Amino acid sequence: MAPLLGEGPASGAVGLGYHVDVPCTPAPSEPGPRTLSVSGSGGGEAAVRPYEVMVIFDVGLEDGDINASLDRLTSLVRERGGNPGRAERWGRRTFAYELKHRSEGYYVLIEFTAEPTLVAELDRMLTLEDVVLRHKVMRQPDKQSGRALRAEAKRRQTAARKAARAKAAAS
């Protein structure tokens, strides 16, 4: 007689005539997110990468509610070792089609740098937020993220040249 459901040594394959050994890893001793180690990755830490997230809020919200949601987002980035950047408020925009029975949304673009593991957590948080109609997290190309650094270096060079000219003119 075949074993009944829930009996026998096989997990998930009871009564099917074969046995499947599934390797189990013990639960971590400390609470918190688990980190996966990939063999051959050099054993280094995960790279901090530039990201931007576009968040569309419900238009009917007060500014305080939008600010509170943005504060939760930036505090999550800071707590997990990321660096929140600027937040551009694009304001109220009309949709091309309805989203959740709404025709308008309040757009905010947020830049930040963080490890890739944070992005999954941030995505989960924004999905669970009732005030967020839709969001999209995009990784910035490394060349594009260096654009801001090059612009800052150019500003410094220009300021140094102006200071040198002013000093030469004063002499």
Domain ranges for the chain: 49-142
Residue 14 banded pLDDT, cuts 50, 70, 90: very low
Residue 171 banded pLDDT, cuts 50, 70, 90: confident
Question: CATH code for 49-142?
Answer: 3.30.70.60
Average pLDDT over all residues of the chain: 77
Q: What is the mean pLDDT of residues 81-91?
A: 90
For the chain, the first-to-last Cα distance in angstroms comes to: 105
Q: Where are the alpha helices (DSSP H) in the chain?
A: 63-79, 116-128, 142-170
Q: Are 133 and 69 in contact (CB under 8 A)?
A: no
pLDDT at 4 over 80: no
pTM above 0.75, yes or no: no
Task: Output the pLDDT for position 11.
Answer: 45
Residue 89 banded pLDDT, cuts 50, 70, 90: very high
Q: What is the mean pLDDT of residues 127-133?
A: 91
Q: What is the mean pLDDT of residues 95-99?
A: 89
Share of the chain above pLDDT 90, in %: 40
Residue that wins the pLDDT comparison between 1 and 128: 128
| Beta strands in 47-131, from DSSP E residues, in sequence order | 49-58, 83-99, 102-114
Share of the chain above pLDDT 70, in %: 67
